Amino acid sequence: MQDKFPKYEQNIYTNIGSNIKIYREKANISQEKLAEEVNCSREFINRIENNKDKPGLPLLIQISFALNTPVEKFFSK
C-alpha cells in the first residue's frame, strides 16, 4: 500500500476497512447494496475495504446501522 496516510493512521484505517468487509460479508450484503443503503458509490465502499480511502465518522455511523453492527467493532484488531 502506498503511504497515502501517515503511519499512525494506516493501522486504524486498515482495521476499519477490513472489519467493514468482514461484517458486510457476515450480513450477506453486497458492496452495491451497502452503498445504496448509505448513499455512496460501490467504488467508494470498495476503496474503504481495500484501504485506499477513509470514511468519515458520519459514514461510519451509517455503515454501522446498515450492517446492524456497533461502530466500535470497526476499530478492533
List domains and CATH numbers for the chain: 8-71 (1.10.260.40)
Per the prediction, the chain carries an average pLDDT of 89
| Contact between 48 and 20 (Cβ < 8 Å) | yes
State which amino acid sits at residue 36: E
- For 58-68, what is each residue's pLDDT tens digit? 999 999 999 99
Q: What is the dihedral of CA 43, 45, 25, 17, to 10 degrees?
A: 130
Residues 6+ apart with CB under 8 A from 61: 71
Question: Rounded CA gap, 76 and 27, in Å?
Answer: 18
Q: Is the pLDDT of residue 4 over 80?
A: no
